[in-house]
Amino acid sequence: MMKRVVFLLLVISMFGMVGCSQPSNEMNAENSLDENAISITDFSDRTIIFKQIPKKIVTLGNGETDIIYALGREVVGRPTGDTLIKEVEGALEVGSTHQVDLEKITSLEPDVVLGNHPMNANDVRAIESIGSEMVLTSANSVDDIKKQIALFGELLNEDKKAEELIHTIDEKIANIQSEQQMQKTRVLLVYGAPGTNMAALPNSLSGNLLEMAGGENIASDYPGLEMYPQYAQLNTERIIEANPQLILLMSHGNPEEVKNSFIKDMSKTAGWKELDAVKNNRFIILPSNLFGTNPGTKVVDAIDYLHELLQDVKE
């Protein structure tokens, strides 16, 4: 009887040791994974864990592409269309934030796809189904671009380079703002497409850039459109009343065609020819690589460009 008791105690003890050692092994495995893993939270508040630093990167926007190269990395897939980054020309074109080419992305077997929030929210499951992760960000302000840089720096273990890039942006803004005068130039900022013209609001990237450069957005208090809250319907009466000194046009289509169409429509409005911008022929098409889309780290060039335009009006 005593032997049976001793035997049972030994068995229980052995199970106890196994039970104790198993969680310990699991804990060690988790700790080992945590040491190499990278955990980030994107702009859609999704927490994404990578087992290691992503090497094969696909971008759906030019701004994200620019930031990746500014951080010293490269991409295997890029947005379809023209690019100002010579090194990226050899990368496969995979569509855009508006239309993702899943077949081409799948062929690249990327570790991560950088998309837009909220435009690519519905593409997350498809990207995850091919064994990749999707990180969503957006750029409706300079602060957003700085957050993008910081997030990608964290993702790629390039925090120091990210800090340097952000510092350059902050320094540029500080220098420009130190030169600003009390009297601001009145500006109408228009996003144009065939048959459609909208006023860019301060909560759009271009609107934020205008304010950073020292301009006064005459449409700052216009109500935003339901589908596009960063833009507003043009109000001809209020435009005439505000008398802009400068009219800036952004367009992804044929800019001259959009400009002529806009002028044709606006010229029907009484008082149009008396606007300061019209009398002084200050109607400028903004370069598409810097405006109307996320310019990435080249946001400093966009602010510089606007600052010079504003200065010219005052001279």
> Within a domain: residue 210?
yes
8 pLDDT above the threshold of 70: no
How many domains does the chain divide into?
Answer: 2
Q: To the nearest whole number, what is the mean pLDDT of the chain?
A: 88
> Within a domain: residue 153?
yes
- Mean pLDDT along residues 256-279: 90
Domain of 273 in residue numbering reads as 181-314
CA 13 – CA 24 distance, rounded (Å): 17
> Within a domain: residue 33?
no
Are 208 and 125 within one domain? no
> Within a domain: residue 48?
yes
pLDDT at 28: 43
Q: How far is CA 74 from CA 59, 70, 86, 263, in A?
A: 10, 9, 11, 42
CA neighbor of 105 nearest in space, from 84, 70, 76: 76
Are 192 and 165 within one domain? no
Are 132 and 201 within one domain? no
> Within a domain: residue 58?
yes
The last residue of one of the domains, among 173, 207, 226, is 173
pLDDT at 13: 43
Q: How far is CA 42 from CA 118, 121, 150, in A?
A: 11, 12, 11
Are 201 and 221 within one domain? yes
The last residue of one of the domains, among 141, 173, 205, is 173
Which residue would you say has higher pLDDT here, 204 or 262? Answer: 204
> Within a domain: residue 2?
no
CA 206 – CA 187 distance, rounded (Å): 12
pLDDT at 32: 45
pLDDT at 82: 85
Residue 258 burial (CB count, 10 A): 23
Are 49 and 149 within one domain? yes
Q: What is the pLDDT of residues 19-42, one digit of tens each?
A: 444 343 434 434 445 677 999 999
Are 161 and 186 within one domain? no
> Within a domain: residue 249?
yes
pLDDT at 315: 59
Q: How confident is the model at residue 4 (pLDDT cuts 50, 70, 90)?
A: very low
What is the model's pTM? 0.86
Q: Which residues on neighbouring strands pair with residue 217, listed in sequence order?
A: 187
CA 105 – CA 283 distance, rounded (Å): 41
pLDDT at 68: 98
Q: How far is CA 60 from CA 33, 147, 153, in A?
A: 29, 18, 18
Residue 204 amino acid letter = S
> Is residue 259 helix, strand or coil?
helix
Residue 202 amino acid letter = P
The last residue of one of the domains, among 173, 195, 212, is 173
CA 220 – CA 234 distance, rounded (Å): 12
pLDDT at 34: 66
242 neighbors 218 (Cβ within 8 angstroms):
yes
294 pLDDT above the threshold of 50: yes
CATH number for position 78:
3.40.50.1980
pLDDT at 12: 38
pLDDT at 292: 79
Express as a percent the part of the chain with pLDDT over 90.
73
Q: What is the pLDDT of residues 90-113, one digit of tens each?
A: 999 999 999 999 999 999 999 999
Are 124 and 239 within one domain? no
Are 268 and 224 within one domain? yes
284 neighbors 310 (Cβ within 8 angstroms):
no
Q: What is the pLDDT of residues 46-82, one digit of tens each?
A: 999 999 999 999 999 999 999 999 999 999 999 999 8
Max Cα-Cα span within the chain = 112
> Within a domain: residue 11?
no
153 neighbors 278 (Cβ within 8 angstroms):
no
Are 246 and 149 within one domain? no
Would you tell me the crossing angle of helices 299-314 and 142-155 to the nearest 10 degrees? 160
Are 69 and 100 within one domain? yes
Burial bucket for residue 223 (CB in 10 Å: 0-12, 13-18, 19+): exposed
